[in-house]
Amino acid sequence: MSILMAQVVSPPTILVSVDTQTHKASSKPLKRTQKSNTSISTKRKVPRSPLDRTQKLNLEVSPHRAVSAVRLMRIELGGAFADLLNEKGKGSGGNEMAYVERSLGFRTKELDDRDLRLVTDVVGGTIRWRRYLDHLICSLCHDEKTFRSMEPLLLQILRIGFYEIVKLDMPPYAVVDENVTLAKVALRPGAGNLVNGILRKLVRVKEDNSLPLPKLEGDDRAQARALATLYSHPVWMVRRWTKYLGQEEAIKLMVWNNSHPSFSLRANNGKGVTRADLAMQLNLLKVPHELSLHLDDFIRVKTGLQNVIQAGLLKEGLCAVQDESAVQLIQTLYNSISMSCQMTSGLVVSVVDPQPGESIVDCCAAPGGKTLYMASRLSGQGMVYAIDINEGRLRILRETAKSHQVDSVITTIHADLRHFSDNNVMKYDKVLLDAPCSGLGVLSKRADLRWNRRLEDLEQLKNLQDDLLDAASLLVKPGGVLIYSTCSIDPEENEERVDTFLLRHPEFSIDPADRFVPSDFITKRGFYSSDPVKHSLDGAFAARLIWAL
Ligand SMILES: C[S@@+](CC[C@H](N)C(=O)[O-])C[C@H]1O[C@@H](n2cnc3c(N)ncnc32)[C@H](O)[C@@H]1O
């Protein structure tokens, strides 16, 4: 029996989760006075009696909307990260309903599988389309003041209703009724009336094909603002992409960022699992999938990831959820500026080209997507030294390495790379710097990132990337290779960082990556670059820099 055959368990019941972590203030297109009159405290309360619980049960409220509203409140007010995966099951239906009860004061029926899928769609979509939805809501409010002073929960309920009607094309009058009920029960009857009035207006203008949306006209600034609303991105991103890519490509990129993300699974060869084994398992679990065109170990999954999670395939280390472009482990939730770079990926490891017997340093390694993949390619010979400044993330790396059975070829080092390099005398065959970056290549998977990232972050990140590149270069042995990678599509974080590095370090030169990845991914200068629009993959970049003898 295949190693995977034994892993099938009962059908899945969970998919999504949200964690509460501190984020920077979000850049809101329309500023509103945030008058929070709804508690979303996570403090534990004394358990209620069964009678009390029954009294709080309200079966009229649709469960996916109650859960979505609370989750959106946590994300916006609590700064939570809208992760789409949580294999530990924190996002299970039961927990979600307990959270609804603590936040809104009532429970409704438990989420079934369909509700869970809807929560994923509604929460991710409502976050992505926030600017667009707020524009419509504001336009259909009695006056702008009503919108600006709207209480947070009421606004979330409206956003959900607008998203369901405009973007999910759900039956409009059912959406109106359900969201009115939610507003009445969670807030008060007057709130229900307001939701009713605004949603009915929306239904009318949608039926008349006259949604009040901005026109693409005027000067560059006006056009950027219109595009930012129409495609729901911050204006600064639109201006930047229009400058680098042109308007047409910028629009395509935004369309990609707003699309439903797909995920890839990497069969863990380190544990003897082949891609064929994994595909067979996915068939048994009825998870639709397709084989990666670019990497032998990878399979793409658009829906049904919760089945994989519930079947325990990730927990057992039989496969990992990783993106093909840069192979980063998508496993759990982290904060910090580097959070956005979680999805970097597999083809970057191909650019590193790990060979058995080599000593490889992964300078910014945690949570370990690339470390694990590189380790699995060493066939038990050689060593990956995984450095990271974040001990919590390194712990995850160690645990996953154990479950993937590649821990014998991984040594973790908790250190700031800048200090480690200064004090280290050892030199290594290959040094990978997967640098902290803006994450502008992975916006389709990180629904909330566009609202948390600011233009000013880029300057800070570029300085850090330069410092880390200098530090990483000290670890390369003569004749060795330094690989610089990001999960960004921004030339200032990619080519420009390499160019300034080469000016500071003329002993290094570009080693074209065309020997390691398909030529479709190779730029004129020999760098690896995945383009979300062109390749339907996360955006990522990698440069091989060789210390010529
Ligand atoms: C892009 S993420 C790395 C993702 C990882 N390579 C993977 O594939 O899973 C960047 C990492 O850099 C780490 N980092 C940031 N500054 C650092 C520093 N000065 N020294 C070492 N690690 C650092 C962060 O903790 C974060 O884990």
Atom of ligand 1 nearest to the CA of 364: 12
Percent of the residues in the chain that have a pLDDT greater than 90, as a whole number: 66
Q: CB of 367 closer than 6 A to ligand 1?
A: yes
Q: Where are the alpha helices (DSSP H) in 404-475?
A: 417-423, 449-452, 455-473
Q: Any idea which residues carry the catalytic annotation?
A: 487
Phi then psi for residue 21, to 5 deg, are: -135, 155
Over range 460-473, report the average pLDDT: 98
Residue located via tokens 């004061």? 105
> Which tokens hold the place of 2?
């295949």
Task: Assess whether pLDDT exceeds 70 at residue 353.
Answer: yes
Higher pLDDT, 45 or 447: 447
Q: Kindly indicate the confidence band of residue 116, based on its pLDDT and cuts at 50, 70 and 90.
A: confident
pLDDT in tens, 506-519: 999 999 999 999 99
**What is the three-class DSSP state of 412?**
strand
What pLDDT shows up at residue 209? 96
Supply the pLDDT for residue 130: 98
Lowest model confidence (mean pLDDT) among 74-78, 187-191, 200-204: 74-78
Task: Say yes or no to pLDDT of 7 above 90.
Answer: no
Tens of pLDDT along 528-541? Answer: 999 999 998 899 99
Backbone angles phi, psi at 175, to 5 degrees: -60, -45
CA of 487 to the centre of ligand 1 (A): 12
- In this prediction, residue 421 carries a pLDDT of 95
370 labelled ligand-binding: yes
Cα 380 to ligand 1 centre (Å): 25
Tell me, using a 6 A CB cutoff, whether residue 370 lines ligand 1: yes
- Bridge partners for 340 per DSSP: none
Choose the residue to mutate in 321, 329, 338, 486 for probing ligand 1, maximizing ligand atoms within 8 Å of C-beta.
Answer: 338
Of the candidates 181, 208, 293, 229, the residue with the CA atom closest to the CA atom of residue 29: 229
| Pick from 415, 523, 430: nearest CA to 473 | 430
Q: Ligand 1 in contact with 416 (CB < 6 A)?
A: yes
- Given a cut of 90, whether residue 5 has pLDDT beyond it is no
Instruction: Check if the beta carbon of residue 278 is closer than 8 Å to that of residue 265.
Output: yes
Classify the phi-psi angles of 34: left when phi > 0, otherwise alpha if psi is within -120 to 50, otherwise beta: beta
Q: What pLDDT, on a 0 to 100 scale, did the predictor assign at position 343?
A: 33
Total number of residues shown for the chain: 549
Confidence of residue 305 (pLDDT cuts 50, 70, 90): confident
pLDDT(110) > 70: yes
Segment among 12-21, 254-263, 448-457 with least mean pLDDT: 12-21
Is 367 labeled as ligand-binding? Answer: yes
How large is the average pLDDT for residues 466-471? 98
The pLDDT assigned to 326 comes to 58
pLDDT number for residue 80: 54
Looking at every residue in the chain, the average pLDDT score rounds to: 85
Q: Is 368 in the pocket of ligand 1 (CB under 6 A)?
A: yes
Higher pLDDT pick, 142 / 236:
236
**Highest-pLDDT range among 11-20, 49-58, 189-198:** 189-198
